[in-house]
């Protein structure tokens, strides 16, 4: 079921072996861990050469304050021609949660990256307009972090 996806991973590897870190095949899905500095180049190659022309989803996650690297960003690529899905994963440390933006490759990444910045606190470099999107601009903290309490630090007031 995932042979075709492994072919894509192989061609990604042959284009530049540094792009591909850990490859995981589980539950019919293939996850490729890409080093942070190569994510833009890897995405560009996948889009232009392997037909992954759509970014279906981009979401961040917090693995917990005790984990290192603490944050992850998942790129769910999809193709409108061969209809395969591939997940790229970037791991980020707590001290430097920064990753290159892919907005110039897929315009849809704009809002997804803003949402990830807003809720998880990952900073996307070279993003055209990195503002909070769901929470108010004066909100303190990042709500989806594991150390952020469910009810917030104090009752939020509009003033």
Partner 1 sequence: MSSAAETIAADFDAIDEPLETQMTLSMGPQHPSTHGVLRLDLRLDGELVVKAIPDIGYLHTGMEKLFEYKKYQQGIVITDRMDYLNPLGNNLAYVMAAEKLLQLEIPERAQVVRVLMCELQRIASHMVWLGTHCLDIGAMSVFFYCFRQREKILNLIEAASGGRMTPSYFRIGGLMMDLPAGFDRRVRQFMDDFPEAMDTFNTLVTGNRIWQSRTKDIGYISKEDAISWGLTGPCLRASGVDLDLRRDNPYTGYETYDFDIPVETGGDVWARFMVRMRELEESYKIVRQALERLKPGPIKADAPKVVLPDRDDMRKHMDSLIHHFLIVAEGFNVPPGEVYHAIEASKGELGVYMKSNGGPKPERVHFRGPSFVNLAALPVMSEGEMVADVVAIIGSLDIVLGEIDR
107 is an interface residue for partner 1 by CB under 8 A? yes
Closer to partner 1 by Cβ: residue 26 or 159: 26
**Cα 102 to Cα 50: distance, rounded to the nearest angstrom:** 17
Least spacing, CB of residue 133 vs partner 1, in Å: 6
134 is an interface residue for partner 1 by CB under 8 A? yes
136 is an interface residue for partner 1 by CB under 8 A? yes
**Alpha-carbon Rg for the chain in angstroms:** 17
- Helices (H), ranges, 32-132: 39-49, 109-119
Using CB under 8 A as the criterion, what x/- string covers residues 29-68 for binding partner 1?
x-x---------------------xxxxx-x-xxx-----
The three-state secondary structure class of 135 is coil
The three-state secondary structure class of 88 is strand
Closer to partner 1 by Cβ: residue 2 or 31: 31
76 is an interface residue for partner 1 by CB under 8 A? yes
**Cα 123 to Cα 116: distance, rounded to the nearest angstrom:** 8
């Amino acid at each position: 079921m995932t042979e075709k996806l492994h072919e894509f991973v192989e061609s990604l590897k042959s284009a530049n072996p540094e792009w591909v870190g850990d490859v995981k095949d589980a539950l019919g899905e293939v996850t490729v861990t890409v080093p942070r500095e190569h994510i833009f180049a890897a995405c560009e190659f996948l889009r232009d050469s392997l037909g992954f022309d759509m970014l279906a989803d981009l979401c961040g996650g917090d693995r917990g304050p005790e984990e290192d690297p603490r944050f992850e960003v998942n790129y769910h690529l999809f193709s409108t021609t061969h209809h395969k899905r591939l997940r790229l994963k970037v791991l980020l440390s707590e001290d430097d949660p920064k990753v290159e933006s892919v907005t110039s490759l897929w315009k849809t990444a704009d809002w997804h990256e803003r949402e990830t910045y807003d809720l998880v606190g990952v900073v996307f470099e070279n993003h055209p307009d990195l503002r909070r999107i769901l929470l108010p601009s004066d909100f303190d903290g990042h709500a989806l972090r594991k150390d952020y309490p469910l009810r917030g630090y104090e009752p939020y007031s509009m003033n």
